[in-house]
């Protein structure tokens, strides 16, 4: 099983959006038994808070529930528990590198780096623009899933790999 952890500043906007969209994407592709997904905060501002209403609304628009989610803080021990740690922006990457000792196992990536337009996932906390964040998250997660399937074909059933190649 591949374990993925999405991280952002407070774990109420971008990282839970990515967590639940990616989980839904895996379910639709019959990959839930092969992928485990969670999300965390890098700062304690929002610990215990539910996802931002804008994140909940965007997920709900697409038939995805994030009910029961509460912001949790990234722990150094998470580094050894997850195969991929996906950050939403450069500040997240910098903080993760400090916590993990400069990412010795090269597990830390920015979500948008899997797309044709590398960079940061738009932060709706400052803009209120959850549509742009949704579009970034959707594109990033879809490309990241393709990356995982391509780079780990031995971990997935052949019919899933065949479906990836066709579509």
Catalytic site includes residue 13:
no
In the chain, count of helices (H) and strands (E)?
7, 4
Catalytic residue among 8, 13, 66, 141: 8
Catalytic site includes residue 8:
yes
Catalytic residue among 78, 89, 123, 136: 123
Cβ–Cβ under 8 Å, residues 161 and 154: no
Task: For residue 164, give the nearest of 150, 152, 151 by alpha carbon.
Answer: 150
Rounded Cα gap, residues 18 and 91, in angstroms: 17
Catalytic residue among 13, 14, 23, 89: 14
Cβ–Cβ under 8 Å, residues 7 and 22: no
DSSP state at residue 32: T
Catalytic site includes residue 123:
yes
| 36 Cα distance to chain centroid | 11
Active site residues: 8, 14, 123
């Amino acid at each position: 099983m591949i374990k993925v952890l999405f991280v952002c500043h407070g774990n109420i906007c971008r990282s839970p959006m990515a967590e639940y969209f990616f989980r839904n994407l895996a379910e639709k592709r019959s990959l839930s038994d092969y992928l485990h997904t969670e999300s965390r905060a890098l700062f304690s501002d929002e610990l215990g808070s539910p996802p931002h209403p804008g994140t909940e609304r965007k997920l709900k628009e697409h038939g995805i529930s994030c009910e029961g989610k509460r912001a949790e803080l990234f722990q150094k021990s998470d580094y050894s528990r997850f195969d991929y740690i996906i950050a939403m922006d450069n500040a997240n990457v910098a903080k993760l590198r400090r916590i993990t000792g400069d990412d010795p196992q090269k597990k830390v990536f920015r979500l948008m780096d899997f797309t044709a337009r590398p960079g940061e996932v738009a932060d709706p906390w400052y803009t209120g623009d959850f549509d742009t964040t949704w579009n970034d998250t959707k594109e990033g997660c879809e490309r990241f899933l393709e990356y995982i399937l391509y780079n780990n074909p031995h971990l997935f059933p052949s019919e899933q790999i065949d479906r990836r190649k066709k579509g």
